[in-house]
Amino acid sequence: EQVVEQVYRRVQERTQNAGGTSGDDCGGAAPETVAVARLVSSDVERPTSRSTQPQDVTSRATATGHQSVPDERERWHRVKVPWYWVARFACRVFCATFFRLHVYGRENVPREGAYILAGNHQSYLDPVFCGVGIRRRLTFVARDTLFRYRLSGWLLHSVNAIPIERGRPDISAIKTFIARLRQGEAVCLYPEATRTNDGRIIPFKPGFGLLCRRAKAAVVPVLVDGAFECWPRHRKLFRPGRITIWYGKTLYPETLRTMSNEDLADHLTATLRQMQTECRLKQGKQPYDYGVKFEV
């Protein structure tokens, strides 16, 4: 947290010295790092004035007719929870029909508490494969363009997915992401930020490391193998095949605090690459060449 505080202070100082220059241009800091650092200001406890006491807020909400908003959200949440399990069952039937799904490492996934499920991104079906392998309700992070289509947008909203805008730091999405984790939810995302072009795992972004440590949640690496062969980027439709899902050992917050943002991103990238190499060798497949010899 001290690192985040220092980054935020530096951004503020340089912004003031530059006369209003945006934080994304200050000091050459990575946009992801700047975006997460800005969130520190929203987490600092501030003195509460009399006008913002809970009873005053409640009375104003009653007078203006807005007190029912939390009730509406709670009602919608109660609808989404059972619907998630219906959708998960449908996905299990879908996977059993078209794919030979093999799942390993379920015992590594925490049964309760907040955690981030961080996986490699091979196809559009990766969230389905990662979700059906465990009995924990997941919150997914998806790029905002997928919410614009009628079918995919409805499905993503129905399972309470978080839209995130690509190409710039999406502070609103980051706030929602951290809030969900602090409520004890499990969030699934893909730190490569895009699907692979050739099946190889793209290095994770350093901003992902800062996000993990700021959220104070455990991280579970998950490998998806075979999805690229079934549905590569250049194909319009998928084809049946074997899919392997492997949940790796959990990294707990105590361990994350000892690592820098870059070290954590590099560690998770190397871990998934090694898992991928071992997985492909066991299946008799040719492993991808990363220029590094992994011990298997």
Domain boundaries defined on the chain: 1-44, 72-282
199 close to 285: Cβ distance less than 8 angstroms: no
Looking at per-residue pLDDT, the higher value among 152 and 230 belongs to 230
Region 21-29: mean pLDDT is: 44
pLDDT of amino acid 76? 45
**Residues 120-170: tens digit of each pLDDT:** 999 999 999 999 999 899 999 988 888 888 888 888 888 889 998 877 778
Considering the entire predicted model, what is its pTM? 0.73
265 close to 203: Cβ distance less than 8 angstroms: yes
Average pLDDT, the chain: 80
Looking at per-residue pLDDT, the higher value among 47 and 8 belongs to 8
User: Would the pLDDT of 117 be above 90?
Assistant: yes
Which of 128, 222, 138 minimizes the C-alpha distance to 181?
A: 138
Q: What is the CATH number of domain 72-282?
A: 3.40.1130.10
Q: Report the alpha-carbon distance of residue 227 to residue 103 in Å, rounded.
A: 13
Q: What sign does the dihedral 94-96-101-102 (CA atoms) show?
A: positive
Which of 84, 153, 116 minimizes the C-alpha distance to 250?
A: 116
